[in-house]
Structure 1
Amino acid sequence: MISNRKEMQRTRMWHYFLGAATEIMEEEGIDHVTIRKIADRAGFTSSTAYNYFKDVTHLKFFAAMRFTTGYMEDLPSYMDKGNNTLEKWLYSWECFCHHSFQQPKIYSVIFIENLGSIAADMLNDYYQIYQHDLIGLPKPIQSIIMEHDFSKRSSSYLQHIAEEGFIETKDVALIADITLMLWKGMMSTFMNQRRLYTVEEATDQTLHYIYESVIRMVHKDKQEEVNFRW
């Protein structure tokens, strides 16, 4: 009973603090989020916030997750465009690029910045509180969403692509790492305005690089089965 009460209290406090953090992000941007601002808006002290979150970086991570619902809602329909596992994987990248370049700072906080903690554990903590975010998502989609490490996420799906005979199993890890680095490189370029890409241009260029990198490793007799146009 005590354990249940503590869990209910934790859930309530997370909702208070993450709700406040989300509002501040919407009004002022993620760069202006501080523990003090969040605590003040939630009606608590900063010390209370620290009872539930390690630091402001963790709070930003969890609050940023509240801005990824559009991506999660769109992902199944994007993947449905694919006629085989490889096409579905490519369309999942299209969905991710589309949303991440629209909200670069949000996705950078979640997937690039140093959290000083194990991201997978943080993700599990988040979905313990916000379990309803996963309701209605197909099991394969849930496994993608729940895997924070993008290389592992891609490797898991790429393994099925290898089993379908499109690529060699030995190339799975390489493709996962290459595609992740391509996205991170473009995200860095985009955020630092090294090239003045629009969201659409950054998305298209990233998908072009990903497609060209992968298609070279697809068996020649299977390449004609890949009909991916973004």
Structure 2
Amino acid sequence: MGESRKEIQRTRMWRYFLDAATEVIEEEGIDHFTIRKIADKAGFTSSTAYNYFKDLSHLKFFAAMRFMSDYLEELPAYLEKGNNTVEKWLYSWECFCKHSFAQPKIYSVIFMDNLGSIPEELLEHYYQIYQNDLIGLPDEVKDIIMEHNFAKRSALFIEPAVEEKFMEEDDIEMISDMTLLIWKGMMNTIINKRRNYTQEEAMQMTLYYVYESVMKVIKPEKRDEIKVSYTKIDT
């Protein structure tokens, strides 16, 4: 059954505001993100914008998603470098750190900011309304945001490492949670300027702690098979 005229109009308006929000981020940065600027750019009033988004943070969240495309385009090349699940997982972290520390405020909006509700519920709500055109992004991005729980995705990714005899099943959840918390801790440090790390230093420090954490759960007899390593840098 085709969409009703009302549904088509609603989706079109969603895209107007999302396109305008993306332009505001590109031109002024995410720090200068206001509903009035977005509404003006879209050619509507602020109150109209609120008819389509419950909260400004929701609009910011979906607009920020559009800035993940560079990371997603580069990720397959990083994964190809790995010869086993653990190496592929470490390389995926390297790609994620490279892009997230290049745009910390964008990635913070997606993975750290308070959205007023848990991301899964937020995504489900908007997906029910705009399911034919969620945010104008490729399917790979939709897959990522609809499975928003980063640690859960990470756990699913490294699950084959159990079959490959690198680690025990009991370690999967712990290592996926721990590595996410390491990244969040460094991201919070950078954004709040608690330490004067460069983008490269933040990336290297995070990868070092991620690597050390995972090596703690790798079975001793399998450690030599992991050819990827990251060292601590002097800061």
Match of 1:65 in 2: 65
The residue that corresponds to 1:113 in the other structure is 113
| Rounded Cα–Cα distance in structure 1 between residues aligned with 2:200 and 2:220 | 30
Which residue of the partner structure matches residue 103 of structure 1? 103
| Inter-partner Cα distance in structure 2 for 1:148 and 1:220 | 33
Q: Is the 8 A contact 1:61 1:110 kept in 2?
A: yes
Please, which runs of 5 or more residues in structure 2 have no aligned partner? 231-235
The code of the aligned residue for 2:169 comes to T
Q: Which runs of 5+ in 1 are unaligned?
A: none
- Residue 45 of structure 2 aligns with an amino acid whose one-letter code is T
Tell me what 2:233 maps to. Answer: none
Contact kept? 2:71, 2:99, Cα under 8 Å = yes
Calculate the aligned-residue CA RMSD, in Å: 2.2
Q: Which residue of 2 aligns with 1:179?
A: 179
* Counterpart AA for 1:7: E
Which amino acid in the other structure matches residue 133 of structure 1? L
- In the TM superposition, residue 133 of structure 1 has moved relative to its aligned partner by 3.3
1:80–1:227 CA distance, 2 compared to 1 (3 A): same
Please give the residue correspondences for 1:1-230 in structure 2 after superposition, counting only pairs within 5 Å.
3-123=3-123, 125=126, 128=131, 129-130=133-134, 133-135=137-139, 146-229=146-229
Which residue identity is paired with 2:38? Answer: I
TM-score w.r.t. the length of structure 2 is 0.88
Residues in 2 aligned to 1:16 and 1:142: alpha-carbon distance in whole angstroms: 19
Contact 1:190–1:196 (8 Å) recurs in 2: yes
CA, structure 1 residues 51+177, in 2 after alignment: closer, same or farther (shift >3 Å)? same
Q: CA deviation at 1:186?
A: 0.5
Q: Is the CA contact (8 Å cut-off) linking 1:35 and 1:55 kept in structure 2? A: no
Contact 1:72 1:145 in 2 (8 A): no
Query: Distance in 2 between the 1:211 and 1:143 partners?
Result: 26
Distance 1:64 1:142, change over 3 A: closer
Letter of the 2:180 counterpart: L
Give the direction of change, closer, same or farther, for the CA distance of 1:132–1:52 in structure 2 (3 Å limit).
closer
- Deviation (angstroms), 1:216: 1.3
The 1:100–1:57 alpha-carbon spacing in structure 2 relative to 1, beyond 3 Å, is: same
Residues in 2 aligned to 1:142 and 1:214: alpha-carbon distance in whole angstroms:
28
Q: State the distance in 1 between where 2:144 and 2:223 align.
A: 25
Q: Deviations over 1:161-198 (max 9, x none)?
A: 22221111001111011101100111111112222111
* Corresponding pairs, count: 226
Structure 1 pair 227/149, CA: closer, same or farther in 2 (3 Å)? Answer: same
Amino acid at match of 1:171: D
